[in-house]
Amino acid sequence: MQTTVAYLGPEGTFTETALLAFTEAGAFSHEVRPLPVNSPAEALDAVRAGEAEYAVVAIENSVDGAVTGTYDALVDGGHDVQIFYEHEVDIAFSVMTRPDTAPEKIRTLTTHPIAYQQIRHWLKDNLPGVEFVAASSNAAAARMVAEGKADAAAAPARAADIYGLTEIARGVADERGARTRFVVVGKRAQPTPRTGNDTTLVVFTLNNEPGTLGAALQDFSLRGINLSRIASRPTVSEPGSYLFYVDFVGHIDDQPLAEALRALWLRSQDIAFLGSWPSARPRDTDSEFAATLQRLDQANAWVEQARRGGAD
């Protein structure tokens, strides 16, 4: 059997690098059949249409923040997909040309628009005046160069080997240590088991009234739940209303988080659970939260004992 996984192609993208990492880590139960597509939205549409069991998509990068197209696509098709795993990829680019192109002859450079933002200072210093040409992905940019549609591309080093190009610079990045977070998305199912270092994502809308967001988030603060990220996107249905995307530290199987999510459900106009999964980034152990969970286990045991008529 094979598991079809959609990803931003063609071969040679950072998304493919993440797909290979997920495969090596055992995220998929069967042999993977990669399905290259032209955007994260197309990858998620393939899952919804049953053309792929999973999609690997970029969700956040350390330079530009959230990949808004992915966040929009997670909910645009309905509340029918969720995240199961994540992985972070170090991001640095190679600038590559056809073997017969001299560096001084470079007039156009192509790459993905997000990638361009990550190398524009390098380009100003090293290829001043070069014209930027947008590509659907970094590997697609390398293919455009191979086809003669641009003089140079900024892409993963592997793309030079795939498309027969020559690297003229390696490790190109305005911000050293840049990373992009990728996730595995599939149809709604039981969440990935709790590990103790987990992330939970929900998206919700609230009544357009003063204080509603603060009140909703206070339900988490009172239970000691940390937020690792919050973002808003305007809805298309009602002017002045927003979708709130919130990453919480913890798993839906953690009782405090589950209780806070119940409270959020009661406050929300609409809410979607987008998964609980193991975090790629190690976090310092939250001893206070761990102690709270231990006390809750003890309290639950006491309640159960009381129900059976044996509590002290």
Q: What is the mean pLDDT of each run of 10 residues along the chain (312 residues)?
A: 95 95 95 96 96 96 84 88 96 96 95 93 95 96 97 96 96 90 97 94 88 87 88 78 91 92 93 95 65 72 77 62
Domain 93-172 has CATH 3.40.190.10: yes
- Which pLDDT belongs to residue 234? 85
Residue 71 has a CB neighbour count (10 Å cut-off) of 21
Among 22, 1, 17, 12, residue whose Cα is nearest residue 185: 22
Q: What pLDDT, on a 0 to 100 scale, did the predictor assign at position 312?
A: 63
**Residue in this structure with the two tokens 């690098």, named with its chain if needed:** 17
Spatial neighbors of 2 by CB under 8 A, at least 6 apart, are: 30, 31, 32, 33
Please report the pLDDT score of residue 79 as a whole number: 86
Closest listed residue to residue 296, CA positions, set 249, 248, 247, 258 = 258
Q: What is the dihedral of CA 156, 158, 161, 162, to 10 degrees?
A: -90
Considering the four listed CATH numbers 3.30.300.30, 3.40.190.10, 3.40.50.300, 3.30.420.40, the one that applies to the domain covering 1-90+178-189 is 3.40.190.10
Q: What is the pLDDT of residue 176?
A: 85
The maximal CA–CA distance of the chain, rounded, in angstroms, is 86
* Predicted pLDDT at 286: 57
What pLDDT does residue 291 have?
A: 66
- The per-residue b/e assignment along 249-261, b for 16 or more CB within 10 angstroms, e otherwise, is bbbbebbbbbbbb
Contacts of 245 (CB under 8 A, 6+ apart): 66, 71, 201, 202, 203, 229, 230, 231, 232, 233
Going by C-alpha positions, the residue among 45, 122, 124, 120 that lies closest to residue 134 is 120
- pTM higher than 0.85 for the full model? yes
Edge to edge, the sheet with strand 270-278 lists: 227-234, 242-249, 198-205, 270-278
For residue 71, what is the enclosing H or E element?
A: helix 68-76
Question: Hey, do 1-90+178-189 and 93-172 end up sharing a CATH topology, with the first three levels equal?
Answer: yes
pLDDT the model gives residue 287: 58
pLDDT at residue 194, rounded to an integer: 94
Q: According to CATH, what is the number of the domain 190-312?
A: 3.30.70.260
Domain boundaries, the chain: 1-90+178-189, 93-172, 190-312
